[in-house]
Amino acid sequence: MASLHITRVKREFREVVSSEEAQKSQIKIEIIDESDLTKLKGTVIGPPDTPFEGGTYILDIRIPDTYPFNPPKVKFVTKIWHPNISSVTGAICLDILKDQWAAAMTLRTVLLSIQALLQAAEPDDPQDAVVAKQYKGDPELYRKTAKHWAQTYAGAPKTTDDAEISAKIDTLLQMGITETKAREALSTHSWNLEAAVDSLFT
Amino acid sequence: MAFDSQESQTSSVGDYYESEEEEEDDYKYFEEEDLMEDSETFSKENSDPEWYEHSCMPSQEVWSIIKKEVCQLSQDLQVTDPIARLLLYSTKWDKSLAVSKFNGDKNQFFIDAHIHPSKPKRQPLEPCTECPICFSSDDANYQLYCGHSFCCDCWISYIISKLERGVSLGIECMDCDVLMGFEVIDTLLVKRSSVIRRYYQLALSQIVESHPLLRWCPGRDCDMVFAVKEPLPKRIQCTHCNLATCFQCGEEYHSPTDCESFKNWLLKCRDDSETAHYITSNTKDCPKCSSAIEKNGGCNHIRCTKCSFDFCWMCLSAWAKHNNEYYACSRYQADPDVMKAKVTKAREALKKYIFYFERWDNHHKSLLLEEETRFKIQTRIKEQVSNGEGTWIDWQYLLDAADLLRKCRYTLKYTYPRAYWMIGDKKHLFEYQQAQLELEIENLSWKVERATITDRADLERQMAVTEIRRVTLLRDFKHY
């Protein structure tokens, strides 16, 4: 008989596939390698009325041997600008993935909780302090940045075309900075070109 | 014989009082107070400021204390023992708080204590035969009081995974925040004695750590627990490993310094001592920004890397004033300028620290030497006894003297951190008493070392005086 964590993964995989949310293609789960069920690929769609709307977010899911008594390890592969998710590593700060995990939870509940996190950020419990500061201090700029990231990395539909943003990134590109680094530096410094340049060259 | 020696000691204390009128008044005053007070506790505390009621027990005995506390509460509140234990766990073993909360919003208290779930169940659980964790229906399911039911194998694996992370008393239901009581653990783990042992081991250590009136002995590999009636920063001594510590902070016993100052002092010693010694002996401070500068060769023209000030290593004044004297400074400073004052201030702080540290360290080293002295005294007594000069018991007072010396020096050592952090008028008095104690200790030390050849009455008088100085200082400068 297969060990408990594998049995669970198989069952939960079926649960996600047949779930109502998956039918509406809100969440998705895929097996990367049939012989290794401890590595999974999850997908959540950015919920409506958020800067992430329409974006497709890929998640890296690792199942520990002690699953389901310990939580799965989940992180974002797709880059995202969100107070509870690291803009650099994709690490997620979510209680149920840490001490609030309960063995009765499933991959479906995990994916739905992550989607809920995209809908309602918790800036008081931040993973990425820079984003959280911006979220609280300048919500408009946060939305703009998050949307820009969603359009760039998560394939969210381009509803606005921000020429100013592109121009600033282009300026940095000409200085020999990679696009990812340029975007990170500009986002971190509230799209202030001078501050971004300073941070990159000191 | 032993009784004799005891008696002669007390009589010599009396001698001392007769010769010192001032002290005699003191003595009488305390004696009267002692007589007036019926309570033994009070009088003991008065005559010995270090006296602290505490017991030291092997850790397993803690269970009987806990059992008693749980029993009392369960009787008072008319609840079951497991519930009473969870209530006490939530109030950190504060019984009166548990009673008042119970009489207040009882429902909320039960939620806070994780006896009732904080959120209502997500869906009404139908009695199902399949375990929601492993989906097998082979095993009998076990239902916790919250209504969540899983198979025993899953419960056990879950408990083991929690124990591996050091959680014991705080193990919650797999689906909500209701805590699992001892009786649940006992039922589930009935066949797994090694797991159950691990559980109770962790639970015990968690109880001792969270209980305000209990403390583990900090001695290495020591399994003893202290129990007190009132948590105070006072001396507790392990009956097993002999280590004397402070009940409140668990550090070595540090009266008359308070816990926080002592912690700061240790921190400072760890961080600063070696560096400070090096700095004083090898560096000078920049006259402008006071950073410490080490001269590593070359000429006397120094430029501070921090503030770029150019100055002369010899006279510490601006290099610009030096005109052509490049390699030697012969400028005589008649009036040191303001810069110099600033430099002195920084150095002064360092000097102050070194002053106290040296004394602290010196007494620390002397304490170690006192161990040797005690050993030497023992050999000397052996010699005397084998030469037919008195019996072992006759010479016992020498060991008493050595023990007293050690005790006094210990207190003296710990006066230095206190003095270091002390400010204001009290400091003068403190340092005066400290100096007095220091003086008597040195006298005592001298006499102990030459004990076999000096007068016994003289030594015993010295012992009494020193102990009085010590007790007075401790009493006058209570640290709590």
Q: With cut-offs at 50, 70 and 90, classify the pLDDT of residue A73.
A: very high
Residue B42: its pLDDT value, please?
Answer: 55
Nearest to B150 by CA among B172, B118, B117: B172
- Residue B466 CA to chain centroid, in angstroms? 25
Are B175 and A104 inside 8 Å of each other by CB?
yes
Listed by start position, the domains of chain B span 288-338, 350-476
Are A103 and B158 inside 8 Å of each other by CB?
yes
> For a pLDDT cut of 90, what percent of chain A falls above it?
26
The C-alpha atoms of residue B402 and residue B409 are separated, in whole angstroms, by 11
Residue B30 pLDDT exceeds 50: no
The C-alpha atoms of residue B51 and residue B45 are separated, in whole angstroms, by 5
CA distances from B127 to A105, B117, B142, B202, B410 (A): 19, 19, 11, 34, 68
CA distances from B299 to B284, B294, B312, B313, B351 (A): 15, 13, 9, 8, 27
Are B174 and A66 inside 8 Å of each other by CB?
no
The C-alpha atoms of residue B354 and residue B281 are separated, in whole angstroms, by 12
Contacts of B172 in chain A (CB under 8 A): 102
Considering the domain architecture, whether residues A16 and A91 belong to the same structural domain is answered as yes
Per-residue pLDDT tens over the stretch B77-92: 999 998 999 999 999 9
User: Given A93, A146, A150, A156, which residue is catalytic?
Assistant: A93
Q: What are the φ and ψ backbone dihedral angles of A94, each rounded to 5 degrees?
A: -140, 125
Considering the domain architecture, whether residues A111 and A172 belong to the same structural domain is answered as no
Are B154 and A103 inside 8 Å of each other by CB?
yes
Considering the domain architecture, whether residues A137 and A112 belong to the same structural domain is answered as no
Triad B157, B162, B163: Cα angle to 5°: 95
The C-alpha atoms of residue B425 and residue B442 are separated, in whole angstroms, by 26
Q: With cut-offs at 50, 70 and 90, classify the pLDDT of residue B4.
A: very low
A82 belongs to a structural domain: yes
Per-residue pLDDT tens over the stretch B145-182: 888 888 888 899 899 988 988 889 989 888 888 899 89
Residue A175: its pLDDT value, please?
Answer: 87
Residue B141: its pLDDT value, please?
Answer: 81
Are A8 and B175 inside 8 Å of each other by CB?
no
Domain final residue pick, A119, A151, A167: A119
Per-residue pLDDT tens over the stretch B410-422: 999 999 999 988 8
Q: With cut-offs at 50, 70 and 90, classify the pLDDT of residue B328.
A: low
Are B133 and A4 inside 8 Å of each other by CB?
yes
Domain final residue pick, A61, A96, A119: A119
Contacts of B158 in chain A (CB under 8 A): 69, 103
Considering the domain architecture, whether residues A23 and A90 belong to the same structural domain is answered as yes
Interface of B with A (CB under 8 A): 132-135, 148, 150, 154, 157-158, 161-162, 172-176
Residue B9: its pLDDT value, please?
Answer: 39
User: Given B71, B128, B299, B307, which residue is catalytic?
Assistant: B299
Per-residue pLDDT tens over the stretch A20-36: 877 777 888 888 888 88
Per-residue pLDDT tens over the stretch A150-199: 998 998 888 766 778 888 888 888 888 888 888 988 888 888 888 888 88
A4, A7, A102 member nearest B174 (Cβ): A102
Nearest to B320 by CA among B303, B335, B296, B307: B303
As a three-state string, the secondary structure of B248-298 is CCCCECCCCCCHHHHHHHHHHHHHHHHHHHHHHHHEEECCCCCCEEECCCC
Run of H or E including B2: helix B2-19
Residue B225: its pLDDT value, please?
Answer: 94
Residue B337: its pLDDT value, please?
Answer: 58
Q: Which residue is closest to A7 within chain B, CA to CA?
A: B134
Considering the domain architecture, whether residues A89 and A185 belong to the same structural domain is answered as no
Considering the domain architecture, whether residues A113 and A150 belong to the same structural domain is answered as no
Residue B27: its pLDDT value, please?
Answer: 45
Residue B75: its pLDDT value, please?
Answer: 93
Give the bridge partners for B57, in sequence order.
B225
A113 belongs to a structural domain: yes
Contacts of B138 in chain A (CB under 8 A): none
Considering the domain architecture, whether residues A99 and A19 belong to the same structural domain is answered as yes
Q: What are the φ and ψ backbone dihedral angles of B106, each rounded to 5 degrees?
A: -65, -40
List all residues of chain A from 56 to 85 with a beta carbon under 8 Å from chain B: 66, 68-70
DSSP state of B207: H
Triad B129, B134, B136: Cα angle to 5°: 40
User: Domain of A158?
Assistant: 129-201
- List of long-range contacts for B208-217, beta carbons under 8 Å, 24+ apart: B208/B59, B208/B62, B210/B89, B210/B92, B210/B93, B211/B92, B211/B93, B212/B92, B212/B93, B212/B94, B213/B93, B214/B62, B214/B65, B215/B247, B215/B250, B216/B59, B216/B250, B217/B56, B217/B241, B217/B243, B217/B245
Residue B23: its pLDDT value, please?
Answer: 41
**ipTM for the predicted complex:** 0.74
The answer, for A11 touching chain B at a CB cutoff of 8 Å, is: yes
Per-residue pLDDT tens over the stretch B214-256: 999 998 889 999 999 989 999 999 999 989 999 998 888 998 8
Please tell me the total count of domains within chain A. 2
As a three-state string, the secondary structure of B95-145 is HHHHHHHHHCCHHHHHHHCCCCCCCCCCCCCCCCCCCCCCCCCCCCEEECC
Q: What average pLDDT does range B428-457 have in this prediction?
A: 85
Q: Which two tokens stand for residue B153?
A: 């194998």
Q: Which two tokens stand for residue B316?
A: 């510490």
The answer, for A102 touching chain B at a CB cutoff of 8 Å, is: yes
Residue B7 pLDDT exceeds 50: no
Torsion of CA B380, B381, B382, B388, to 10 degrees: 110
Residue A59: its pLDDT value, please?
Answer: 94
Residue B465: its pLDDT value, please?
Answer: 93
Q: What average pLDDT does range A71-81 have in this prediction?
A: 93
Give the bridge partners for B311, in sequence order.
B302, B318
Average pLDDT, chain A: 87
Rounded to the nearest angstrom, the minimum Cα separation between B138 and chain A is 13
Residue B335: its pLDDT value, please?
Answer: 52
A124 belongs to a structural domain: no
> Residue holding tokens 């010699």?
B383
The C-alpha atoms of residue B188 and residue B190 are separated, in whole angstroms, by 6
Contacts of B157 in chain A (CB under 8 A): 4, 69
The C-alpha atoms of residue B438 and residue B443 are separated, in whole angstroms, by 9
Residue B270: its pLDDT value, please?
Answer: 79
**Per DSSP, which regions of B286-332 are E strands?**
292-294, 301-303, 310-312
Rounded to the nearest angstrom, the minimum Cα separation between A125 and chain B is 21
Interface test with B, best of A69, A101, A107, A112 (most B CBs within 10 A): A69
Residue B349: its pLDDT value, please?
Answer: 78
Residue A161: its pLDDT value, please?
Answer: 66
Q: Could you tell me which CATH number the domain at B350-476 has?
A: 1.20.120.1750
Considering the domain architecture, whether residues A112 and A176 belong to the same structural domain is answered as no
Contacts of B133 in chain A (CB under 8 A): 4, 8, 68, 103-104
Residue A1: its pLDDT value, please?
Answer: 43
Residues whose CB is less than 8 angstroms from the CB of residue A148 and which lie 6 or more positions away in sequence, other chains included? A81, A162, A165, A183, A187
Residue B372 pLDDT exceeds 70: yes
Domain final residue pick, A60, A87, A119: A119
Considering the domain architecture, whether residues A113 and A138 belong to the same structural domain is answered as no
Which has the higher per-residue pLDDT, A75 or B44?
Answer: A75
Rounded to the nearest angstrom, the minimum Cα separation between A64 and chain B is 12
For the question of residue B299 being annotated catalytic, the response is yes
Considering the domain architecture, whether residues A29 and A82 belong to the same structural domain is answered as yes
Are A70 and B148 inside 8 Å of each other by CB?
no
Count Cβ atoms below 10 Å from residue B365 Cβ, excluding itself.
Answer: 11
* C-alpha radius of gyration, chain B, whole number: 33
Residue B146: its pLDDT value, please?
Answer: 84
Give the bridge partners for A41, in sequence order.
A30, A60
Residues A24-43 as b or e (16 or more Cβ within 10 Å = b): eebbbbeeeeeeebbebebb
Rounded to the nearest angstrom, the minimum Cα separation between B158 and chain A is 5
Considering the domain architecture, whether residues A48 and A145 belong to the same structural domain is answered as no
Rounded to the nearest angstrom, the minimum Cα separation between A84 and chain B is 24
Q: What average pLDDT does range B266-287 have in this prediction?
A: 75
